[in-house]
Chain A
């Protein structure tokens, strides 16, 4: 696996995961 592939995969997957976690955290804490 190339470094660029690893980097793009990690960035993409982590960004959507962090966004989803943040959103649900806000939903549960501001309800």
Chain B
């Protein structure tokens, strides 16, 4: 292959680049909320089990696949998948591993630019408007307005109101393209070598600040650091019996480590033959876990409970965006030296985000270079055009952030399962687990423990499949309805006033912890205990026939008008933004598949062993 040869400058450089790719907003914003809602400290049990059974195995497989692909002269996921999967099917599936980081980049740069925008607003003093509001709810309202202004989520288009959003996006976009253009070692590696330690320092400074807050308001002794840590870590072991807890923990591990993302496989392909992948992979994963558990798990919710209290924390930290951009500005408004720590925090999030986004363009760039025979400059230009198109789409169709959410779900979540599954099957079954592990150990500083031969071959794929099926049942139907609509959808409500006797009977059964009361009924009637998020039912995802049947058997049920349970038609119309997002996804995929077909012909014409038939030395 007539390409400029690229490789990593140092071993630490590649580890920091991979760690930078893995450590992102999810570590600091998604993890704590996820843990608190799914068993608190008990969440860590399925979390660590998933780390051992899925996280480390797929991580090692991906590093090994990448490095071996690089030894054969390939750096793109389709080409490397073709070698490990021994054929065209795996090669075409490999295009998903290019679509994934590129598609995530379409919206991730937006979030990154919000972080930069917030860091600037803190540094310049503009965020003082949150402080000027009197009460927590008023401050939350001001903070939410600022978020809408910063993201332009109130309306589509690029009106005046979006000037800050566009400005900070342009800065972020330019920084990303600049470092990708500078190349692997001079660009990405150099940036991560400074950005990762800087991010760590910022996070540790904020952590020290949070842990030394004590009880800042003597009139509210329940709002202390100890109470904040307790909110996050107090175990609810009964949550371990709930499949959702396992699903959430496995999903957190999976998305956080960036395995199955198409990035590690590309990064590892630039390693030298005698470079280690086992220790490097483990170190990258350990860095991510440290950032997630030791920093993310101690800072975010602790600070929120100290200044907002448990109830407001539950109300405002449900999602990644609400935690990071609505609740935390209120926390910093109430924290001594909040302006300084707000600046540090959002700059830290910006660094965490940019070290991730930098990695997202490299796989597509490498793919265009080797499939189309483009130069580094031309491939960077083509990637920049695609990235620009995706970014402008998300920036323009920003109303309610629906386009962003749609791409995030289908590419940034759903597709990761598919790519990871293809990877582990190629590694452990098609290529062969023994040959795969032998390649992993070539130049390795430590050995993969023997038990992982069994885990990688049998446990990881099974575990992954079970999580994927659970995820599909749990989350996919609603997302499909958002795109295609649902004429038959109904809204269910409890009419408590119509039948007080029935309601009282059900409430008493809930109080008595009667396990036969459907969770959906509890969700609509029970007031959540302090420290617990309300469990609202998903009325569209469940069969209500059985629930109605149960309700009618409870004394006090009145079957006629004024029944306790009422259903009314509430058709869901297809969501235009979601449809547009799908058009973008499918168009990008079609383009990548076309490039893969061209690349395949080109590689065959060059006489390259693209199906991995020959040993690496002869290929």
Residues of A within 8 A of B (CB): 1-2, 4-9, 11-13, 15-17, 19-20, 22-24, 26-27, 30-31
Residues of B within 8 A of A (CB): 11-12, 15, 40-42, 44, 48, 226-227, 229-230, 232-235, 276, 279-280, 282-283, 286-287, 289-290, 292-294, 297-298, 445-446
Flag if B282 contacts A4 (CB, 8 Å): no
Flag if B229 contacts A1 (CB, 8 Å): yes
Flag if B12 contacts A12 (CB, 8 Å): no
A13 touching B298 in the complex, CB below 8 Å, given contacts A4-B234, A8-B41: yes
In angstroms, Cα B232 to Cα A13, docked, is: 13
Flag if B286 contacts A31 (CB, 8 Å): no
B residues within 8 A CB of A12?
41, 44, 48, 293, 297
Flag if B15 contacts A20 (CB, 8 Å): no
A17 touching B282 in the complex, CB below 8 Å, given contacts A9-B233, A31-B11: no
Flag if B41 contacts A4 (CB, 8 Å): yes
Flag if A8 contacts B235 (CB, 8 Å): yes
6 A-B pairs besides A4-B41, A19-B286, A31-B11 with CB distance below 8 A are A2-B234, A9-B232, A11-B44, A12-B293, A19-B282, A27-B283
B residues within 8 A CB of A20?
283, 286-287, 289-290
Flag if A8 contacts B12 (CB, 8 Å): no
In angstroms, Cα B279 to Cα A12, docked, is: 21
B residues within 8 A CB of A22?
286
How far does the Cβ of A22 sit from chain B's closest Cβ, in whole Å? 8
Partner of B286, one of A7, A8, A11, A16: A16
Flag if B279 contacts A26 (CB, 8 Å): yes
In angstroms, Cα B226 to Cα A5, docked, is: 10
How far does the Cβ of B290 sit from chain A's closest Cβ, in whole Å? 4
Partner of B15, one of A9, A16, A19, A27: A27
A23 touching B279 in the complex, CB below 8 Å, given contacts A1-B229, A4-B41, A16-B289: yes
How far does the Cβ of B39 sit from chain A's closest Cβ, in whole Å? 10
Flag if B234 contacts A5 (CB, 8 Å): yes
In angstroms, Cα B233 to Cα A6, docked, is: 7
In angstroms, Cα B289 to Cα A30, docked, is: 22
A residues within 8 A CB of B445?
26-27, 30
In angstroms, Cα B229 to Cα A22, docked, is: 26
In angstroms, Cα B290 to Cα A31, docked, is: 22
In angstroms, Cα B287 to Cα A14, docked, is: 13
> Nearest 3 pairs between A and B by C-beta?
A8-B41, A23-B283, A5-B233
B residues within 8 A CB of A30?
276, 279, 445
B residues within 8 A CB of A31?
11-12
B residues within 8 A CB of A19?
282, 286, 289-290
7 A-B pairs, CB-CB below 8 angstroms?
A9-B232, A9-B297, A11-B44, A12-B41, A17-B294, A19-B282, A27-B445
Q: Which residue in chain A gives the minimum CB-CB distance to B51?
A: A16
How far does the Cβ of A26 sit from chain B's closest Cβ, in whole Å? 6
How far does the Cβ of B224 sit from chain A's closest Cβ, in whole Å? 9
Flag if A13 contacts B15 (CB, 8 Å): no
B residues within 8 A CB of A2?
230, 234
Flag if B11 contacts A27 (CB, 8 Å): yes
In angstroms, Cα B290 to Cα A22, docked, is: 12
B residues within 8 A CB of A11?
44
A residues within 8 A CB of B226?
1
In angstroms, Cα B294 to Cα A16, docked, is: 7
How far does the Cβ of A15 sit from chain B's closest Cβ, in whole Å? 8
A9 touching B229 in the complex, CB below 8 Å, given contacts A4-B41, A16-B294, A17-B290: yes
Flag if B40 contacts A5 (CB, 8 Å): yes
A24 touching B283 in the complex, CB below 8 Å, given contacts A8-B42, A12-B297, A16-B290: yes
How far does the Cβ of A13 sit from chain B's closest Cβ, in whole Å? 5
How far does the Cβ of B306 sit from chain A's closest Cβ, in whole Å? 13
Flag if A16 contacts B279 (CB, 8 Å): no
In angstroms, Cα B200 to Cα A17, docked, is: 13
Partner of A13, one of B42, B48, B227, B294: B294
B residues within 8 A CB of A7?
41
Flag if A1 contacts B279 (CB, 8 Å): no
Partner of A5, one of B235, B280, B294, B298: B235
B residues within 8 A CB of A9?
41, 229, 232-233, 297-298
A16 touching B283 in the complex, CB below 8 Å, given contacts A5-B40, A8-B44, A30-B445: no
A5 touching B41 in the complex, CB below 8 Å, given contacts A23-B282, A27-B283, A30-B445: yes
Flag if A26 contacts B293 (CB, 8 Å): no
Q: Which residue in chain A gives the minimum CB-CB distance to B289?
A: A16
B residues within 8 A CB of A6?
233
A residues within 8 A CB of B297?
9, 12-13
In angstroms, Cα B42 to Cα A24, docked, is: 28
Q: Which residue in chain A gives the minimum CB-CB distance to B230?
A: A1
In angstroms, Cα B221 to Cα A13, docked, is: 26
In angstroms, Cα B279 to Cα A2, docked, is: 36
Partner of B229, one of A5, A17, A24, A27: A5
How far does the Cβ of B599 sit from chain A's closest Cβ, in whole Å? 35
Flag if A26 contacts B446 (CB, 8 Å): yes
How far does the Cβ of A12 sit from chain B's closest Cβ, in whole Å? 5
A5 touching B293 in the complex, CB below 8 Å, given contacts A16-B286, A23-B282: no
How far does the Cβ of A21 sit from chain B's closest Cβ, in whole Å? 9
Q: Which residue in chain B gives the minimum CB-CB distance to A25?
A: B283
A27 touching B280 in the complex, CB below 8 Å, given contacts A9-B41, A16-B289, A20-B290: yes
A residues within 8 A CB of B235?
4-5, 8
Flag if A13 contacts B293 (CB, 8 Å): yes
A residues within 8 A CB of B234?
1-2, 4-5
Q: Which residue in chain B gives the minimum CB-CB distance to A19?
A: B286
Among B282, B292, B298, residue most surrounded by chain A Cβ atoms (within 10 Å): B282
